[in-house]
Amino acid sequence: MRKIVAIFMLIFCAALLCIGYQSEWMSSLSKWMYGNESFLGSDKYRFGDLYGLSYYPQFRIKKEDKKLASYQITSKVNDINLTIIGDSYTYSFIDEQVQNFKRVKDLQFASWEERNKLKLPTPSATRNILLIEIVERNALTKLRADEFVKCFQLQKDQPSYKEKMEVTVENNLDFLLFEHSMFSKIKELKTSILQKLFGKIPGDVVLSKDGQNLYLRETMEGDTPANSFKVLSKSSYKTFENYLNKMYDKGKALGYDEVWLLIAPNPVRALQTEKKLANELFTYLEKSTTLRVKFLNILPALSRNAKSNFYASDSHWNLNGATIYRDLVNQELLKR
Amino acid sequence: MVFNSLHFLVFFGIVTSSYFLLAHRFRWMLLLVASCYFYMVFKPEYILILGFTILVDYYAGILIEDSQGKKRKTFLAASLVANIGVLAIYKYYFFIDSNLSAITRVFGQELHLPTWEIILPIGLSFHTFQAMSYTIEVFRGHQKAERHFGIYSLYVMFYPQLVAGPIERPQNLLHQFYEKHTWDRERVQAGLLQMVEGLFKKVVIADRLAILVDATYADLAGQSTLNLLLASVFYSFQIYCDFSGYSDMAIGAARVMGFNLMKNFNAPYLATSIPDFWRRWHISLSTWFKDYVYFSLGGNRVSVPKWYINIMIVFLISGIWHGASWNFVIWGAIHGVLQITGIQLNRWFPALATYNSKGIGKFLSQLWTFMLVTFAWVFFRIPSFSQIKWYFKSLFLSLDESFIFHFNTMELIWSFLLIGYLFLMDKKLIQKPIGGFWVKLFISLFVIYLFGVFNVKQFIYFQF
């Protein structure tokens, strides 16, 4: 009997370790788990990514798992090639179909990690527009880095061996062992106990003052640029603007006729639940006369009836918010 | 990989189950391969350094045993030079370089060592010391040279104690690799419970205290007296739980397979004096220094001034062993001075020893010793002199400032409760959860899951 248990443990642990090292297997397995609603499936994103980080039981609210419906009627004139480098605020909500964007003849999406795979524009009569979409918590770091400016043909960022071994394998094993929905109740119990005892939610998640929303901690606290309330100096704004102008110059050099920027605000900024002033990043970019990038300020539109534009348990906007995003881009496209 | 990770849990499952499935004659191979994997997870190429020191010491041991007269000393010296040389290059290169440039700058010409990108191989200080103890013991005739290269390699690389001790002696460990360890349910259960206890100390106590400590020490200039005192006390417990937790996990992991590693901690904060503290803290290192440095210098069988010099030398070396930085040397020096002061006071006032051994005298001496050790830990924790200056400035000049808790009240109470629980455990006044093994295991794991901090924080002593 002991031998059988030992053999079982050996095979089980060895299988876990092998799968944990294989990013392709993990990718397939995670897709299956996210889509599966049985006890083996994963609740990590089904009820919002912030629920998945905190397992705060009051925020176990099922998310809509669909994208925006494409427009039925396409534009009469399709004279724009649109390239969007964006994140999950774009590709989780909008299909890569030209029907989603007015006057667009050719559309391509790329995530930040895959921007080197983009087809660059070739000289033609069609107008080429590059739209950079990025969430606020990443904007000041990713868009500041000189690497972005050099990056269009660079290889994909390779994690260092140490990072890969320690972080990826560890994360994969955590996923394999504990990311099943059968453990959700225990995780919720932990969160409830810690919240009652210490008034804090585990994980990098914070409850809003009105108790109706979850936010990522880094977007509300701390000394990083991700924090919407971090006071930024004039020189910080100017430095950021200089990087954006470099990005514009790079985009023009690559053949784009226009370079646009849309920053998806941190939900805490748009929802204004914290009774304190966020920094002036959006105002600065909108009013700047020296910024060469076309800044699409989505904040005013999102802030109107803000609660209807964001998920309570997710760091993203919802379909309403995504609609506002698409409408804003189309508004600009129609002006061209 | 660190012990408080799922990677280690899975690795431990594979190694332990394979160990008991394999015939005895193949087990050393399994453990050696597992130890190589364990080490290479950190940075694979550094196994070459480990390989080099293993080769040197393996042959040095044989040559010492097979030689006579001066040649024995030569081979011992070669082994020590190789090990200390590796330490000097990989651990002290930048320290030597910065001090060389500082000294030569005074004479008008700043000299530097060649520029070199080096990362400290993990566990270097531990396994070089363990290897040196082998060749010294062979030289002294207390240990026969190990002729089996694989077994000797395993002695140096045995994964439970490879990266942060306990620093074993060959007399204790080597023979165990030849012994057949059969399945013993009680021993396995005791080993697992010891691992869980170590994990509790690390993720529930140490990493939780680290939240306040790190927040306070990150901004010393803005801290109040109370915050600094609290952070200093919490750091004493953080480092104790972090290191003893690791040792418990190492000893427990070895125990599961039937290996007995030496005890590394014995309730150090219940010490009644600094010498007593060093008989209870990092026992494997303090006994190493005692047996190989202190006694070699003559110990206390010399004149009193020389005796005290010997003590200072040992503590200065101990300080520098902990880190390539002057704050560690100062930490060692403080302990040296305190040790000497304690000894001298006992010589002048022999009644002190009796007073400190029971009742209120014992309690006061324990409290006083804890305060001295906590004071010394400040120099251990703060890496630069400017920050140390800010610490003491804020400590003495912020008495009327309101204090800001980085914890809320409940977290503060919880932290004190954990420290109280630790004291009761150390004094063996509290039994672990009642019930059979499985009840104890699941209750402990559940408490760890509920209250542990799980961001895979590295162990403090890994940096040494």
Q: pLDDT tens digits for A159-189?
A: 444 455 456 888 889 889 988 888 899 999 9
- Nearest CB neighbour to A198, from listed B43, B183, B408: B408
Which run of H or E residues covers position A259? strand A258-264
Q: pLDDT tens digits for B35-87?
A: 999 999 888 888 999 999 999 999 999 999 999 989 999 999 999 999 999 98
Q: pLDDT tens digits for A324-333?
A: 999 999 999 9
pLDDT score, position A319:
92
DSSP A310: B
Catalytic residue among B24, B175, B282, B322: B322
pLDDT score, position A293:
93
Q: pLDDT tens digits for B232-271?
A: 999 999 999 999 999 999 999 999 999 999 999 999 999 9
pLDDT score, position B108:
82
Q: Is the pTM of this model over 0.90?
A: no
Q: What is the mean pLDDT of chain B?
A: 89
CA gap B20, A108 in Å, rounded: 57
Which is more confidently placed, B300 or A14? A14
State the nearest Cα–Cα gap between A172 and chain B, in angstroms.
9
CA gap A278, A231 in Å, rounded: 8
CA gap B5, B397 in Å, rounded: 42
Among B106, B127, B118, B121, residue whose Cα is nearest residue B173:
B127
Q: Residue for token digits 């912030």?
A: A50
B390-411 mean pLDDT: 69
**DSSP H helical ranges for B114-167:** 124-140, 149-157, 159-162
pLDDT score, position B400:
52
Q: How far apart are the first and last CA of chain B?
A: 16
Helix and strand element counts for chain B (H, E): 20, 0
CA gap A278, B427 in Å, rounded: 52
pLDDT score, position B356:
67
Measured over the CA atoms of residue A18, residue A22, residue A28 and residue A29, the dihedral's sign is positive
Q: Are B225 and B398 in contact (CB under 8 A)?
A: yes
Q: Residue for token digits 């994690």?
A: A159
State the nearest Cα–Cα gap between B75 and chain A, in angstroms.
37
- Nearest CB neighbour to B13, from listed A9, A165, A169: A9
Q: What is the mean pLDDT of chain A?
A: 86
Q: Are A186 and A179 in contact (CB under 8 A)?
A: no
B419-425 mean pLDDT: 83
Report whether pLDDT(B286) > 90. Answer: yes
Which run of H or E residues covers position B81? helix B70-106
Q: How many percent of chain B have pLDDT more than 70?
A: 93
Report whether pLDDT(B380) > 70. Answer: yes
State the nearest Cα–Cα gap between B185 and chain A, in angstroms.
11
CA gap B254, B461 in Å, rounded: 19
Report whether pLDDT(B458) > 80. Answer: no
Report whether pLDDT(B375) > 60. Answer: yes
Among B296, B177, B207, residue whose Cα is nearest residue B2:
B207
Nearest residue on chain A to B410, judged by CA atoms? Answer: A198
Least confident of A7-16, A33-42, B72-81: A33-42
Verify whether residue B24 is a known catalytic residue: no
Report whether pLDDT(B91) > 80. Answer: yes
Which run of H or E residues covers position B15? helix B6-21
Q: pLDDT tens digits for A71-113?
A: 765 666 788 999 999 999 998 898 888 888 888 888 999 887 7
Q: pLDDT tens digits for B297-317?
A: 998 888 999 999 999 999 999
B95-119 mean pLDDT: 82
Among B350, B292, B308, B36, residue whose Cα is nearest residue B142:
B292
Token code pair at residue B37: 């994997």
Reported for A44-47, long-range contacts at CB under 8 A and 24+ positions apart, including other chains, are: A44/A179, A47/A313
Q: CB distance A197–B410 less than 8 Å?
A: yes
Mutate to test the interface with A, among B1, B6, B406 (most CBs of A within 10 A): B6
CA dist B390 → A160, A261, B381 (Å): 36, 44, 13
Interface predicted TM-score of the whole assembly (ipTM), two decimals:
0.84
Instruction: Tell me which chain B residues have a C-beta less than 8 angstroms from the C-beta of A197.
Output: 410, 414
The residue type at A139 = A
Which is more confidently placed, A223 or A187? A187
